[in-house]
Structure 1
């Protein structure tokens, strides 16, 4: 497993020393060398290394000032000729603190600590990614379960695919499912069906109306946070003011 780093030190020989000690670690890639704090900030934000070697005392900004100016702080191995900064370094979760001059053995120990942390982080990220995939799959399954409606009519059960439904309207204890040429009564609530179709092409545009985006022809703003939604069936619906945030994303998709 490869890891990337940036070396920040105002002394050329100090930077070269670190590079020399890294030679035996073929999985460590040096992205950049920085000789001052300003350059370090630019390179770290641009290249986003896994970790950095950071000198504490530099002529412009010290190492702590560099970290305070970063949007996202990488893992840090501090390098310095002074040991009076050690406590402050570990207060900001430094992985290690190398006191100059350090040798190969000390560098190897520090890199071992760093790689253990990065590998654990990588495993954690992989675990989160797998969980996200599972959640997405479950959400898709939930959407698929709501992709058709079973309608009881005259002792028979009719199956109406959700993709054939143009709009859904609340009517007392029932919902009216409108297709291009038919209407069906379906015993349920708008809230329940809205949740079941949350991952589909349906959007709630009114307290008592949902529409299938596939059947929207155009949308026009009427004022007072209301929109006129014209369907391909020539019917139209006036959206509710409380649902304007559901309608606004559609404006770029349809002719105003």
Structure 2
């Protein structure tokens, strides 16, 4: 598993590298000292796992996750236990308190699931499919969300409202830019304001002017414009 270590302290990175040596499934492909460095390394190396410090000069580990379109598996490493609750709120793979104990590291590694690595060409495309997870931060609340669980993206000015579970947090992204990244086998641009997850469609009715009214399993009703209706019918094999 291609692994990146993100920590501003050189000795902390060195110690973690030494602790990881016994784990043959872990391949350390790089180190990063801050958020900007990590962003570059992630774009270049495409790690499957990140050991991530939370408190770093300038921006935090949460800021890094918020900046990524798709988020790899994450194990937090930090000396600040006050962040523990927040880390668990975002459903990280695990949380390791510094100094890292070998037995706790082993527990974290054992939580990793061996998954089939997608072909390199698919990784290069960076298309976001239902198996990808994204990091969503809204105020003090943070989540790791699997795209399969996101039923709707709704444009709201310069923000996007993300619908999953009972949550509707706002993220500062463009719906057009997101639409270009999402796998069109799973997500459909219903209108100027909405992208829906086809797997969450519960009911479809005819609507005004040749459009359609789609009801999602979450209860939301979304109008599919006349322009998009024929494409939607093809997607849903109507």
State the TM bucket, normalised to the shorter chain: 0.3 to 0.5
Larger radius of gyration: 1
Q: So what's the TM-score if we normalise by structure 1?
A: 0.44
Query: Which structure carries more relative contact order (alpha carbon 8 Å, separation 6+)?
Result: 2
Q: So what's the TM-score if we normalise by structure 2?
A: 0.48
